[in-house]
Amino acid sequence: MRFTLFTILAIFIASSVSFAQKSFHKNKVIAHRGAWKAQSHPQNSIASLKEAVKLGCEGSEFDVWMTSDGVLVVNHDADFEGMEIETSTYEELLSKNHENGEKISTVEEYLKAGKKQKGTKLIFEIKPSKISVKRSQEVAEKSVMAVKKMKAEKWVDYITFSYEGGLKVIELAPNANVAYLTGNKTPAELKEAGFFGFDYNINLLKENPHWIKEAQALGLTVNAWTVNKEEDLRWLLDQNPDFVTTDEPELLLKLIEERQ
Ligand code: MG
């Protein structure tokens, strides 16, 4: 009897650990700031996340800043509707809204919304602080804590332009997937530092296409931003990347479908 209970428990734990990874869509499509363009949703809004989920994207990307009072919030620009995020309190930011009436999401609210489904990964961009490298590392540390608190580890891959911030995530969450955005490190350097992959500008990859094969030979993943032109999407798909980050997820899904 004890053995049976133990077995059931072991199976339950094993299945709860692996469900999310298995259930995510495998179509390479990462909606950049959510899927906002075609339906005119605000970028980085919960509505744009839900649209990416509805489309069946493999991932939905979003950007994270920290307010002056230490709250992580989701927004692309350094300001939200004209208010500088890093020098405003969270309370102050609540005086403004997205165009669709949503208020700025905290990371916890965003992760909570993203966890309601199991098909689309949440691609968490840690924005480098304009104040200091130390603050970028603090944002990275708080981001890892928030993901842990929300039990969202299985949904989240991290990306960042802050090399130091990326290293901080790797240090605090060694099992997390962290990709680097800036484009000033070779695949070998990223591998050595413990990154999961690179997510580089499409024009940089067109200048250095050998990096794609080099990275994949090292076991790193390849992603590119922000690939919107059809000719660029087709070129990149020919290189067999792991992911493609785009403002045009509908078009990319169609191009991928055509190749199957
Ligand atoms: Mg971003």
Distance of alpha carbon 260 from alpha carbon 254, whole angstroms: 10
Convert the pLDDT of each residue in 132-147 to its tens digit: 999 999 999 999 999 9
What span, in angstroms and rounded, lies between the C-alpha atoms of 71 and 108? 10
Q: What is the CA radius of gyration of the chain?
A: 19
pLDDT in tens, 230-244: 999 999 999 999 999
pLDDT per position as a tens digit, 180-238: 999 999 999 999 999 999 999 999 999 999 999 999 999 999 999 999 999 999 999 99
CATH code for the domain in which residue 70 is found: 3.20.20.190
Of 78, 23, 76, nearest to 247 (Cα)? 76
**What is the per-residue pLDDT across 85-120, written as a single tens digit (0 to 9) for each?**
999 999 999 999 999 999 999 999 999 999 999 999
**18 part of a folded domain:** no
Instruction: Look at the chain and report how many structural domains it folds into.
Output: 1
Residue 199 lies in a domain: yes
Q: Does 4 map to a domain?
A: no
pTM equals 0.92
Range of the structural domain that residue 134 is part of: 28-259
Within a domain: 219: yes
Residue 15 falls inside a structural domain = no
Ligand 1 centre to CA of 125 (Å) is 6
What the block records as the tokens of 225 is 């931003």
| Bridge-based pairing state of the strands 178-180 and 156-160 | parallel
pLDDT class for 29, splitting at 50, 70, 90? very high
The confidence score (pLDDT) of residue 22 equals 77
- How much distance in Å is there from the Cα of 160 to the middle of ligand 1? 8
How far away, in angstroms, is 120 Cα from ligand 1 center?
A: 16
Task: Confirm whether 19 is domain-assigned.
Answer: no
Ligand 1 centroid–CA 104 distance in Å is 16
**178 C-alpha to center of ligand 1: Å?**
14
